[in-house]
Structure 1
């Protein structure tokens, strides 16, 4: 049953139709991920559903008595208030009703007030706030002005959740959150009993939270059952079919246009019905909204740096009494793609500056490589002049730029990043957050560099641009340092990770985020297994003339364990073969003609095989260690 719905919805900004007769419904208990390219109108749609903006035309319906709460990308919180005060704003009606009951005058209808208090549970609103604070791990006495961006986002979520709404509307909830906080939020939203609609470009987050994906594409809303992985497969098949249909349609239209222009003899025998059909085809072709262009990314690496980019030996750094880095050793080579992972405030930027020689360590040594040319992508976009035009931001004082050996007009280059020629002379301040990120990428890639430093490049970028950026960085010949909380993006780019492990300790792991999680989990399991067991209560020794000598030898595997170890390679090979077949099925087109249930079955099995293989590898490690 739908808790809210849109019918024949229309919304336009100028001549651009963001919603063009779109329809949508949100069912009870659904967790829907809303995706689409930057600028397509996702945030506007969320505000319409929240009652903050109006449709140009169409119908918005919702259940009677429905409560919904909207959390924007950048929540507005009172800086001089405490966390307790701000979260209490979510139960403002509860507070007001109870105050009205406790301090009433003779004109008050106390019967109605008491009935309303009972209905919404307003007697114990303080307890609800305290429970929410505990659940979110927040100190209610702290002032909002002292909080980081991640904690402010957590407070805004708390203010929404304490209201216990029927519908929760979230715009980019993972922005400013670190990996631990994102994992925490996934659990929180999976436990949420109401209906959820959220906008995010974090694909791992969508996979772990959403049970339906809705895409806003060319003014229409299209729903796909399952998580983002299932959507990707279904969308690829859909676009393939759309391209095939359009190609056939265009071929037929071209044939009919040739026919209508034939000579006098042909015109005498023209069919009225055929002419009418041609007119309908012309109108359909004119009304077609083709798939928007893709970002085209390229980068000039300039000259190669030396083989060694940086060599750190036992470096440490503190600010006052607070240690940031303690005893870190690493060697970064040309071509490495390094991800830096750690909670907000752990010191990722400090460590990165030491690696690049911009900040001297308190102790230890840093040796830098030769011929390094570094380009930065900054998280807060501080380097953008909001009054400069897009063209001047890319190529100050010139209409041309050079990418490698290729000379390109600045308007053409901006077009590669989906900026129309008409916008080339617009000021930067007119751009949305996602568009500013795209402009920063355009400027970054226009300058020769053999070392790229990207600090949270994924914020506000749409998924399609993220995937193309992944491809570019994977093929880039230079060295990349990547600070991000987007697990999927890191997994698809980095070759190693430097991870914060507490108490100013950093450790380097080979591989991606998933490899780090696997290695750290395995190491923890082996450490726990190797830990000495608590001594058992003493028992009387057996009757014997002398105790047997204790020999420190490695324990042999039991017969059952040896059989298990021998079978593991076969089991893993079988799973890998099945996994290969499923991946081929997902990549093909035949599967998507078999219905949503079959698609879900195949994608679920593919995910299950990943988990099974991980368990088998961990078991192999344990048996080998014996």
Structure 2
């Protein structure tokens, strides 16, 4: 497989900080690579160097001849005076040229470009709309490589799934920076972690990266203790709570189970519910016969909804469905058109808004936190202001940085620290994952696991919703709050079914259910593949036993150089056989999916 882009010993620094230090890597044809790492750690810099936006300080970047590549960064720039259609469909001279192309129509509809309007001036668009227009303009082109920086920002759950399905259906190579872990696991076959100026490379998506990082942390020195514990807890969640999204050889599943043995469930729901009832009583937040509007759009129509002590609720819906308006009503910051909002007497409510307008810029980070409180109790643990700030990514030195000098992601983290320091018993979180890196998201989820209170989360990050919430409700635009026992999967299925019925109503034809997927294998082929898989697993068990015996023999022959050479040769042959068996196992298991 030929590489489309190669980086050879590339270094890049800003000021005295080295972001990339002699990095060598390549992007092959059709590869889908997810880039992860801490905020400010060099992810965007790596993308810009790879795409040719920013030159390296040293080293060499080479690209395949006639490479067709598009880049969509967070710094969206659209030509002044242009229209949405003029940007997205710039390569098409007439409407019939793109309208007859099913792929282009799918992009225009899937990213909500039709809803924005092709004749809409780009100067009047919001930041999120401009990002979607730039993304659509990149995807309509025939490409060898697309480079995306946080493409899921400003997309709702449905939009994120559409983008994932679209990228999976294309043969285009992809390099993407994203904090959306479901998207990473669904789309990416490799993961790059940018850390300390280096780029660590892993096979697989988010789940595989967590496993590999947990293994690395397990063998690390005591300085890595904190990261190890968090990675193991996250791995426990992946094994127990989340649906498996990648095929792994059985030996890896057994290794993962050994790694997480003894790790408790992410949270004790019964204990937290009992504690929440003691803190909150019976009444928390209630809406009675409420009608709520956002402009001309009716969000709620004569709705009664009761949120109780210890409830952990995720709210989903398309952009513009009124999720933020609903959260503002629950927070008491918006008034209903009719009906009433009831708040319990013991409620101490905290509301994380999307805006970053409530931070004291004249203070330093630790001062801004201590202005709320000096100590906080979260579940069974008492933390100082400094300890909580450190848990959410502010090291001791960074705690003395002026608030006005913080990046967007750091300001978001500071918002969260200040909210938690107030010890609320009701948390309303509006898109809490915006601008947060994956490590900070893991720390936030870890804190919320032991937080005893009522939680309402609006988020397009389905991994976060599935991780911290016990139930999901949706706003479908019908004026109701619809409970979804099946979670986000049920939400997406319901949206698809409603779209089919709407199309049938518009066309006068009966709605058709999605056709069942054609089976990949015949019954005979499936039986043969199942037998082959069992045979490969037996061979892998045998190879592992030989490998273990050889390691024991190597240890026993430590003082015999000739014997060591002989055993080392045998071990290399065994490892090569093991790698070949693992590859055949993966190919066979994928055929059975």
TM-score, length-normalised on structure 1? Answer: 0.65
SS at match of 2:417: helix
- Structure 1 residues 387 and 34 mapped into 2: Cα distance closer, same or farther (>3 Å)? same
User: Which residue matches 1:194?
Assistant: 172
User: Which residue matches 1:575?
Assistant: none
Deviation per CA, 1:395-436: give whole Å up to 9, x if none: 34x9x7122399977555533433244433433333222222
Offset at 1:599? 8.6
User: Which residue matches 1:154?
Assistant: 132
In 2, the alpha carbon distance for the partners of 1:608 and 1:475 equals: 39
Answer yes or no: is the 8 Å Cα contact 1:225–1:596 preserved in 2: no
Matches within 5 A, 1:22-33: 22-33=23-34
Offset at 1:175? 0.4
Deviation per CA, 1:112-161: give whole Å up to 9, x if none: xxxxxxxxxx8879935995466312231112244444432221012222
Answer yes or no: is the 8 Å Cα contact 2:299–2:477 preserved in 1: no
Offset at 1:466? 1.2
- 1:370 equivalenced with 2:367 (yes/no): no
Answer yes or no: is the 8 Å Cα contact 2:156–2:317 preserved in 1: yes
Answer yes or no: is the 8 Å Cα contact 2:474–2:481 preserved in 1: yes
In 2, the alpha carbon distance for the partners of 1:351 and 1:415 equals: 32
- 1:180 equivalenced with 2:151 (yes/no): no
Answer yes or no: is the 8 Å Cα contact 1:87–1:129 preserved in 2: no
- 1:403 equivalenced with 2:376 (yes/no): yes
User: Which residue matches 2:303?
Assistant: 328
Moved more, 138-147 or 43-52: 138-147
- Structure 1 residues 608 and 229 mapped into 2: Cα distance closer, same or farther (>3 Å)? farther
Match of 2:107 among 135, 144, 163: 135
- 1:226 equivalenced with 2:204 (yes/no): yes
User: Which residue matches 1:274?
Assistant: none
Deviation per CA, 1:527-582: give whole Å up to 9, x if none: xxxxxxx9xxxxxxxxxxxxxxxxxxxxxxxxxxxxxxxxxxxxxxxxxxx9xx9x
Larger Rg computed on CA atoms: 1
Answer yes or no: is the 8 Å Cα contact 1:73–1:175 preserved in 2: no
In 2, the alpha carbon distance for the partners of 1:198 and 1:209 equals: 10
Any unmatched runs of 5+ in structure 2?
226-274, 501-508, 510-533, 542-546, 549-574
- 1:240 equivalenced with 2:241 (yes/no): no
Offset at 1:340? 1.1
User: Which residue matches 1:342?
Assistant: 317
Deviation per CA, 1:181-218: give whole Å up to 9, x if none: 11121122223332110000111111221121111122
Deviation per CA, 1:207-250: give whole Å up to 9, x if none: 22112111112222222222222222233223334459999xxx
In 1, the alpha carbon distance for the partners of 2:277 and 2:355 equals: 26
Matches within 5 A, 1:385-404: 385-396=360-371, 401-404=374-377
Matches within 5 A, 1:42-191: 42-78=43-79, 80-88=81-89, 91=91, 127-128=97-98, 132=104, 135-137=107-109, 138=113, 139-191=117-169
SS at match of 2:452: coil
Answer yes or no: is the 8 Å Cα contact 1:313–1:366 preserved in 2: yes
Answer yes or no: is the 8 Å Cα contact 2:84–2:120 preserved in 1: yes
In 1, the alpha carbon distance for the partners of 2:396 and 2:224 equals: 27
In 2, the alpha carbon distance for the partners of 1:136 and 1:39 equals: 33
Answer yes or no: is the 8 Å Cα contact 1:301–1:448 preserved in 2: no
In 2, the alpha carbon distance for the partners of 1:123 and 1:310 equals: 55
- Structure 1 residues 319 and 175 mapped into 2: Cα distance closer, same or farther (>3 Å)? closer
In 2, the alpha carbon distance for the partners of 1:218 and 1:596 equals: 33
Offset at 1:172? 0.3
In 1, the alpha carbon distance for the partners of 2:320 and 2:408 equals: 23
- Structure 1 residues 513 and 599 mapped into 2: Cα distance closer, same or farther (>3 Å)? farther
Answer yes or no: is the 8 Å Cα contact 2:277–2:309 preserved in 1: no
Answer yes or no: is the 8 Å Cα contact 1:4–1:62 preserved in 2: yes
Match of 1:447 among 418, 422, 438: 422
SS at match of 2:292: strand
SS at match of 1:404: strand
In 2, the alpha carbon distance for the partners of 1:125 and 1:438 equals: 46
Answer yes or no: is the 8 Å Cα contact 1:200–1:206 preserved in 2: yes
Match of 1:463 among 434, 438, 458: 438
Match of 2:456 among 469, 481, 484: 481
In 1, the alpha carbon distance for the partners of 2:121 and 2:77 equals: 14
In 1, the alpha carbon distance for the partners of 2:96 and 2:406 equals: 42
Deviation per CA, 1:45-70: give whole Å up to 9, x if none: 11111212122221211112223221
- Structure 1 residues 602 and 303 mapped into 2: Cα distance closer, same or farther (>3 Å)? farther
In 2, the alpha carbon distance for the partners of 1:124 and 1:518 equals: 35
Aligned length: 465
Answer yes or no: is the 8 Å Cα contact 2:309–2:454 preserved in 1: yes
- Structure 1 residues 423 and 324 mapped into 2: Cα distance closer, same or farther (>3 Å)? same
Moved more, 122-131 or 70-79: 122-131
User: Which residue matches 1:432?
Assistant: 407
In 2, the alpha carbon distance for the partners of 1:40 and 1:212 equals: 19
Answer yes or no: is the 8 Å Cα contact 1:6–1:59 preserved in 2: yes
Offset at 1:84? 1.7
Q: CA RMSD in A?
A: 4.0
In 1, the alpha carbon distance for the partners of 2:47 and 2:368 equals: 32
User: Which residue matches 1:216?
Assistant: 194
- Structure 1 residues 14 and 152 mapped into 2: Cα distance closer, same or farther (>3 Å)? closer
- Structure 1 residues 238 and 37 mapped into 2: Cα distance closer, same or farther (>3 Å)? same
In 2, the alpha carbon distance for the partners of 1:450 and 1:244 equals: 35
- Structure 1 residues 512 and 178 mapped into 2: Cα distance closer, same or farther (>3 Å)? same
In 2, the alpha carbon distance for the partners of 1:410 and 1:474 equals: 19
SS at match of 1:204: helix
Matches within 5 A, 1:456-605: 456-510=431-485, 512-514=487-489, 595=579, 598=582
Any unmatched runs of 5+ in structure 1?
92-121, 248-299, 526-533, 535-577, 610-626
Answer yes or no: is the 8 Å Cα contact 2:6–2:63 preserved in 1: yes
In 1, the alpha carbon distance for the partners of 2:208 and 2:118 equals: 41
- Structure 1 residues 350 and 241 mapped into 2: Cα distance closer, same or farther (>3 Å)? same
Moved more, 516-525 or 151-160: 516-525
